[in-house]
Structures are given as C-alpha cells and as structure tokens.
Amino acid sequence: MTTSWDRVGKWYDSTVGDEGHYYHRTLIMPNSLKLLKLTAQSSLLDLACGQGVLSRQIPPNASYVGLDIAPSLIHSAKQQKTNPHHQFFVADATKSLPLEKHDFTHAAIVLALQNIEEPLKIFKNAHKHLLPGGKFLIILNHPCFRIPRQSSWKVDTDNKIQYRRIDSYMSSMKIPIQTHPSKGEKSTATWSFHHPLGKYTQWLQETEFTIDLIEEWCSDKVSEGKAAKMENRSRQEIPLFMAILAEKKHV
C-alpha cells in the first residue's frame, strides 16, 4: 500500500502534534465535537484518521476505530494513543474495510477528503458501516474559497479592502501540493483534489445520506498594523473551512 502521505508522515506528525495545529485546536476539534455530540454509548469510525488527533479529543468512554492508508501515520497514532480501547488500522478508506462492525453511530473524515481522488467511495464506506440514522461528519478546506493554485488574496488599494480572488471553481481538479515549497522540485508532494460543493451534495444523495446542516468556519486570528482593519474584515467574511453533517437514511 503506497501513498504520498506516507512520504510526508514525519513532517505532518510534527506539524499537527498531539493536539493538532492551531486551527485544529481553535476551530476544527471544538466545532467537530459540538456537531458529533458523542456520548459514552457512541461509536466513531474515523476515516483517513492521520495520526489520530480526533481520537484524543473524544469522550473517553466512546468507542473509536481509526483507519488510514499511510503506515507511518498509523504508527504515530498508536504511539500517541491515550485510550487502550481505541483501535487503529492501516487501510485504504476507499476500498473494502477490514471491519466486521456495521453499526457505528458516527463516522467522520476530518480535513482529508480533499486528499482523496474518489470521495464517492468514502461516502459508500461510511454508509456501509453506519447504523440507520447514524451521523457522518465531513470537514473540508472550504471548497468555494480555498482552491490550491486557483484562489488567492488580493488587495484593492483604491477601496482599501482585501478580497478573495477565485480563478476556477466548477471544474474538478487534481493539484500537486509541495510539502516544502522553498525546495522547489526537490520537495516531496501530496495531491489535493478539488470539487465544487454541488458534487459533494450529489455524492451524499447518491449514497442515501440526507444533509442535516452545513457550517462555515472563519479564522479567529487578529491582525495588527496598518492593514489590520481590512485583513480582519476579510478574515471574518471569507471562511476557511466547511463542515457537512449528514445522516444515513432509515430504510
């Protein structure tokens, strides 16, 4: 099993750490837990779990299984495991999963779907392993505003505003992302896959999920200096992340 993420596992692990990077701590984890509403009776399937940052945030009595295609990330997840009952497996989340359990109350894929070429297969696996009425949480870099190489910040000096420029949106794209841009062609790279929002809703409908809600999360950082006013305004107006909470339909 090979993946570009296995080659950057050490870099990713050092970047995320035990509790996640800045936005993991301030936005992703707190808001995800509010949406999941996990209890001691809950069971969570964490698809493309990385080094298990979500597992270390959930209620200690909730059941948890994390899967990732990168052996180095699963190795790190096991090393950092704080709950002996949590399980981690090396597995491709787009293929048949090595799990007999088909009655998870919750499934999640956090900031990983944009790195997977065929999201529909993820949705099918989530549906297969959730009980009817089970919740499926998807966290994405915002697909409308954060498109690698096709979106950027620009400044309108006449009106003194910072705005988001979008060069392409409706086309699905496969985009290489350099881990260390300063190294140029010598840098390792991962792949990012862009799809418009309508594709995600189409795939959820196709796999018999209904959408409970969509949330958009903005950065809570604050700028200082001469450009602070326009930077803070644009930061509050252009969200960084999107959360989609879906439910598996009852038969």
- pLDDT tens for each residue of 128-184: 999 999 999 999 999 999 999 999 999 999 999 999 999 999 999 999 987 655 555
Is a pLDDT exceeding 80 seen at residue 5?
no
Confirm if 90 and 66 have CB atoms less than 8 A apart.
Answer: no
Is a pLDDT exceeding 50 seen at residue 193?
yes
Say what the pTM is. Answer: 0.89
Cβ contacts of 139 within 8 Å, gap of 6 or more: 28, 32, 108, 109, 110, 111, 241, 242, 243
| 192: three-class secondary structure by DSSP | strand
Helices 9-16 and 71-79 meet at what angle, rounded to 10?
40
> Rounded CA gap, 246 and 138, in Å?
8
The type of residue at 115 is N
**pLDDT at residue 251 in the model:** 73
**pLDDT at residue 237 in the model:** 97
CATH superfamily of 4-144+194-224+240-248: Vaccinia Virus protein VP39 (3.40.50.150)
Confirm if 66 and 73 have CB atoms less than 8 A apart.
Answer: no
> Rounded CA gap, 247 and 251, in Å?
12
**pLDDT at residue 250 in the model:** 86
The type of residue at 200 is Y
- pLDDT tens for each residue of 207-236: 999 999 999 999 999 999 999 999 999 999
**pLDDT at residue 6 in the model:** 53
Beta bridge partners of 150: none
Average pLDDT, the chain: 90
* Mean pLDDT of all residues in 47-74: 96
Q: What are phi and psi of 30, to 5 degrees?
A: -60, -45
Is a pLDDT exceeding 80 seen at residue 189?
no
Is a pLDDT exceeding 60 seen at residue 13?
no
> Rounded CA gap, 245 and 251, in Å?
19
